[in-house]
Amino acid sequence: MTSSIRFALAAATAALAGACAANRPPPLAFASLHPRRDAPASTTSSEPQASHTTAVPPPERAPILAAPRDVACELRADDLDSDTVFPLSFEASKRPFAIVEAAERAVVQIPIGDASQGAWVQLDREDATLWGHVHASRMTLLPARSGIAAGVILLQPDTKMTFLRAAQGKVTVSIAVESKVHLKGLAAEATLACSELAVAEVDFEPLDAVVPRAAPRPGIVGVAKRSGALQLFASPGGPSIASIDLASGPDELTTAQVLEERQGWVRVIAGGESTQLVGWVPRAALLLGGGETWASLIGTGGDPNAPTSAWGELQSALQGGSSATCSWNGALVAEQDGQKRTVGRLAAGHPFKTGDRIGGYVAVRELDQVKTGEGTTLMAAAAHTYGCSAQP
């Protein structure tokens, strides 16, 4: 082949290569064949692989159970024990979603209006905070201070109440009374200010509502068993407002606390274990202990010639030397070297050994884990022991 032919072939080859390069498509882009360190290695199977990641749907919306807008009262309490139970519901008329028996802190809101809305309660605990509505019948309220409700009921720290309706700053409540107490023409209801209500029991002296703190404490007398009930009147000779069923046992006597005496009528506190009423009774309905007078019981006057009951009636309930249980908080008197001093109070329902009668007193022969000092006698007023019953 001549050199001219070789030159022509080389030129043609170069031209063809240039044309091919001009029409060549761009190179393909390849992803890395090395798997990520946190991803599983790929498989060589030609079949499609199921996804290992499941999508989590967002939670269904749960609206916050809100407190009422118009609140009549907000009450707070701390350190609630298991005696205070709150059945929490979405609405007051629905069944509870939780029943909470104790909390470090409680906030109770009573809405304006009738009781159908119930109360709104928030409970703070160490493990959780819960809130919800409580039906009015399950929302127990208590008095925060002493007072007389419905004109006759002496409020006690454990007087249970439920709310009926509420307005700004005050609540109308229904008051629970014992079955032995009967009101006449009166509803066991009262309208109390928010400051007079509590969620947990408050320690106060009920007598502060009827007796000045500096005045002597009312004396205790027995109630004569001339009928099955003690009638209480609104005023001396006024209308009857209540009656109290008397203790029926042969060794039991109902007692009353004497507040004042006026022209043959006596204003007293009487009732049962949890319900105490204030009203007037005829003086003849009461029994004085030996040596007692209305003046000594009231401490501010009275009729010194008032008759006294026979000691034998007291002995029918208490035999000297027997064990007795008293149902009142009576004064404990000590006599030493001929001088008497009130040195304490006997706790209601606490058993003690009785001794001989000493004037208007009965000896307290034995108190549990109490030793009487040399030459000292502990005593309780004889009239007070009408609230006691003999023990076998």
| Cα–Cα distance, 138 to 25 (Å, whole number) | 84
pTM, to two decimals: 0.63
**C-alpha closest to that of 139 among 73, 63, 65:** 73
pLDDT attached to residue 99: 92
pLDDT for res 252: 65
Contact 307, 326 (CB under 8 A): no
pLDDT (0 to 100) of residue 284: 86
Please report, for the chain, the start and end positions of each structural domain, with discontinuous segments joined by +: 66-208, 210-311, 318-383
Mean pLDDT per 10-residue section of the chain, whose length is 392 residues = 53 53 47 43 53 74 88 95 89 91 94 95 93 94 95 94 96 94 92 96 90 72 79 94 82 78 89 90 77 49 35 44 56 81 71 68 75 82 54 54
What confidence score (pLDDT) does residue 196 get?
Answer: 97
User: According to the model, what pLDDT value does residue 118 have?
Assistant: 95
d(CA 295, CA 158): 32
Q: What is the pLDDT at residue 381?
A: 66
Residue 315 confidence (pLDDT) = 46
pLDDT value of residue 278 = 95
Of 284, 278, 268, 272, which is closest to residue 227 (Cα–Cα)?
284
